Amino acid sequence: MAKESEVSAPTAPQQPVIRLRDAELRFGSRVLWHDLDLDVAPGEFVAVLGPNGTGKTSLLKVLLGQNTLSAGTAEINGSTVHSGNPAIGYIPQQRGIDPHTPMRGRDLVGMGIDGHKWGMGLFSRGRRKKVDELLAAVGAADYAHAPAGTVSGGELQRLRVAQSLANDPSVLLCDEPLLSLDMHHQKVVAALLHEQRVKRDTAVVFVTHEINPILPYVDRVLYIVGGHFLVGTPAEVMTTESLSRLYGSPVEVVRVGGRLVVVGGEEECVDHHHLHDEDLAPEGAVSR
Amino acid sequence: MSAGEIFANLFTFEDYGELVALLANSLIAAALLGVVGGLISVFVMARDIPFAVHGISELSFAGAALALLIGFDVVAGSIIGSIVAALIIGVGGAKASEKNAIIGVLMPFGLGLAILFLALYDGRAASKFGLLTGQIVAITPAQILTLIICAFAVLIVLAVVWRPLMFSSLDPEVARAKGVPVSALTIVFMLTLGLAVALSVQVVGVLLVLALLITPAAAATQLSASPVWVPVLSVIFAVTASVGGILVALGSPAVPISPFVTTISFLIYLVCRLVGGRRMKSLDRRRAARAAAEHSASLTAA
């Protein structure tokens, strides 16, 4: 599959969906990142990469209005970020759901439409139709009536995609949405997200440890390491030279069967063993 | 004593009709508490905090025992005790595991206080026992009025916060991202839970509150995951247990109400569990079938 756009920065004079200027985030005396400038154009797919604890999820929380920048500005569609912004769709890190949780797949999606409103919520044909459309768009109609705790991880993430699209957001913020999926379903869900963002011209900011499942679709990469960062196309950022400079130590980017493997940089942080396991999987070639 | 004699000691259905008429107010209160319990228990299940119900009931017990000791209204005492507990638990920890630790610390403290107050109290022993096992047939019309007012307060609050509370209970991260005031709703819910516990204590007593505030929805979620059917079934189960328990207990002067309420509640759960086990197996089979179909489709495509 070809990339949507070969342009790394938006050239059209359209307003960016996300606009960060001199953004700095600190917790106490610890600065996670600073002087971050980033414009995300409508429909653009931006991957946010980097070791654990570098403030990738915190960046999403800034955009969600849950973390406050210590300096600089963050805007979505031209207005300062704030909590409960309907322009945002959010896919959280996956966590298990008990099979007896009183929620079906379609209820998960429906809560994305009007779960934040007060009152009981009366039956509405329009709402049901909207839920059906969302379920159909992600191919989840088959198991929409099953309890959400009884569907597979891949199926749940399809439901999550449908939920995040419920209010026709202009940007999807995804926090490691592929984390607990097997290789096949990582590709399926990534392709689904790509398909929907192209169809709806929704920008995607995708926090991940693992770029390979989304590599075919990514327009730009924001790579954060220890307060420093790089922004550019995957071809610009995901190179031995760029990442060595960013990490400040020798890092090698190896291309194995169409997949990118970063050797060296990840070793300075814990909890990344699973990543290497995935990288070694033999069926992992991404067709490009 | 033969089984027949035991049964004869347990049950006499003489003057049954008159007893029912006499206790009409208690029955209405029990039905209302069944509705409250059935609805609250849905959220207890959705938030996965059954242990909190137990913790709150122990402090409710302490509050009631203190009220008994100092000659204050017992219903009001148990309401204050449970609301204090609910607030501590609600503010204390965001995660279920943190909450559990706080509750585990709170529970023995509450029980200890209650035992202290009861030991100091030198009034009727039946009043002490009533706190443990429920006393809805013994409470005064004024107390029943308090119960009814509190029950309606809980129902009104639930009606207003229903959707965002459900959202933040089932899916807190996305709810917060959508601007739902998740933390504030937690406090609101813990307060209504505290009230509901205090009300249920009157029917089944401190030790058996779980029968009205957990079991109904636990049974209902065995049968369904629908946002409509789970509350409806849960309310039906809770009302059946609370009203049914009183009706059966009326024929049994020797035994308090709570064993009948808990037994009915338990039997309902048992039946639902048996039916629900088959439902789970069939859901598992369907998931496996979908996975197999998807796999063969991807093989064909490749």
CATH number where B144 lies? 1.10.3470.10
Which chain B residues are Cβ-neighbours of A63 within 8 angstroms?
none
Residue A222 reports pLDDT greater than 70: yes
- CA–CA min distance B177, chain A (Å): 6
> Residue A215's closest CA among A242, A202, A234, A237?
A234
What six digits make up the tokens of B5? 């004699």
Rounded Cα–Cα distance for residues A153 and A59 (Å)? 25
pLDDT single digits (tens) A35-44: 999 999 999 9
Determine, yes or no, domain membership for B80. Answer: yes
Determine, yes or no, domain membership for B99. Answer: yes
Determine, yes or no, domain membership for B5. Answer: no
Rounded Cα–Cα distance for residues A93 and A180 (Å)? 9
Q: A-side interface with B, Cβ within 8 Å?
A: 64, 66, 83-85, 88, 90, 92-93, 98-104, 107-108, 111-112, 114-121, 142-143, 146-152, 155, 163-164, 173, 184
The answer to whether A175 and A55 have CB atoms below 8 angstroms apart is no
The answer to whether B40 and B167 have CB atoms below 8 angstroms apart is no
Which chain A residues are Cβ-neighbours of B290 within 8 angstroms?
142-143, 152, 155
The DSSP secondary-structure symbol of A104 reads B
Q: B224–A102: do the CB atoms touch at under 8 Å?
A: yes
pLDDT single digits (tens) A251-283: 999 988 888 888 886 544 433 333 333 333 333
* Residue in the structure block whose two tokens are 């025992």: B65
Q: What does the pLDDT read at residue A52?
A: 87
Closest residue to A116, CB basis, from B180, B224, B286: B180
Rounded Cα–Cα distance for residues B254 and B246 (Å)? 13
Closest residue in chain A to residue B47, using alpha carbons only: A101
The DSSP secondary-structure symbol of A224 reads E
| Domain membership of residue B251 as a residue range | 12-301
Rounded Cα–Cα distance for residues A189 and A160 (Å)? 10
Determine, yes or no, domain membership for B2. Answer: no
Count of structural domains within chain B:
1
Segment A42-53 shows an average pLDDT of 94
Q: What does the pLDDT read at residue A279?
A: 37
Determine, yes or no, domain membership for B7. Answer: no
Rounded Cα–Cα distance for residues B82 and B53 (Å)? 9
Would you place residue A4 in the very low, low, confident or very high pLDDT band (cuts 50, 70, 90)?
very low
pLDDT single digits (tens) A113-171: 999 999 998 778 999 999 999 999 999 999 999 999 999 999 999 999 999 999 999 99
Determine, yes or no, domain membership for B105. Answer: yes
- The amino acid occupying position A258 is G
Which 3-state string (H, E, C) describes chain B? CCHHHHHHHHCCCCCHHHHHHHCHHHHHHHHHHHHHHHHHHHHHHHHCCHHHHHHHHHHHHHHHHHHHHHCCCHHHHHHHHHHHHHHHHHHHCCCHHHHHHHHHHHHHHHHHHHHHHHHHCCCCHHHHHHHHHCCCCCCCHHHHHHHHHHHHHHHHHHHHHHHHHHHHHHCHHHHHHCCCCHHHHHHHHHHHHHHHHHHHHHHHCHHHCHHHHCHHHHHHHHHCCCCCHHHHHHHHHHHHHHHHHHHHHHCCCCCCCHHHHHHHHHHHHHHHHHHHHHHHHHHHHHHHHHHHHHHHHHHHHC
Instruction: Kindly give the parts of chain B with pLDDT less than 70.
Output: 1, 93-96, 302
Closest residue in chain A to residue B219, using alpha carbons only: A100
Q: A90–B170: do the CB atoms touch at under 8 Å?
A: no
Mutate to test the interface with B, among A62, A100, A158, A189 (most CBs of B within 10 A): A100
- CA–CA min distance A90, chain B (Å): 6
Q: What does the pLDDT read at residue B5?
A: 75
A152 phi, psi to nearest 5 deg: -75, 170
The answer to whether B205 and B130 have CB atoms below 8 angstroms apart is yes
> Mind giving me the DSSP string for A133-184?
HHHHHTT-GGGTTSBGGGS-HHHHHHHHHHHHTTT--SEEEEESTTTTS-HH
Q: CA separation (Å) from B73 to B29, B30, B54, B65, B76?
A: 18, 20, 22, 10, 5
pLDDT single digits (tens) B146-180: 888 999 999 999 999 999 999 999 999 999 999 99
Rounded Cα–Cα distance for residues B64 and B60 (Å)? 6
Which chain A residues are Cβ-neighbours of B163 within 8 angstroms?
111, 114-121
Rounded Cα–Cα distance for residues B287 and A105 (Å)? 13
The answer to whether A151 and A143 have CB atoms below 8 angstroms apart is yes
Please report which helix (H) or strand (E) contains residue A278, including its range. helix A273-279
The answer to whether B199 and B83 have CB atoms below 8 angstroms apart is no
Dihedral of CA atoms A273, A213, A138, A66 in degrees, nearest 10, equals 60
Determine, yes or no, domain membership for B3. Answer: no
Which chain B residues are Cβ-neighbours of A143 within 8 angstroms?
286-287, 290
Determine, yes or no, domain membership for B85. Answer: yes
The answer to whether A248 and A232 have CB atoms below 8 angstroms apart is no
Q: What does the pLDDT read at residue A266?
A: 57
A216: three-class secondary structure by DSSP:
coil
Q: Taking the CA atoms of chain A, what radius of gyration do you get in angstroms?
A: 19
Rounded Cα–Cα distance for residues B17 and B42 (Å)? 34
Q: CA separation (Å) from B215 to A26, A149, B39, B209, B238?
A: 46, 20, 11, 10, 8
Closest residue in chain B to residue A64, using alpha carbons only: B177
ipTM of this predicted structure = 0.89
Q: Does B161 lie at the interface with A, CB-CB under 8 angstroms?
A: yes
Closest residue to A83, CB basis, from B163, B166, B179: B179
Closest residue in chain A to residue B285, using alpha carbons only: A150
Mutate to test the interface with B, among A85, A101, A205 (most CBs of B within 10 A): A101
Would you place residue A207 in the very low, low, confident or very high pLDDT band (cuts 50, 70, 90)?
very high
pLDDT single digits (tens) A175-187: 999 988 888 999 9
pLDDT single digits (tens) B60-107: 999 999 998 998 888 889 999 999 999 998 887 666 677 888 888 989
| pLDDT greater at residue B123 or residue A197 | A197
Which chain A residues are Cβ-neighbours of B221 within 8 angstroms?
100-102
A234: three-class secondary structure by DSSP:
helix
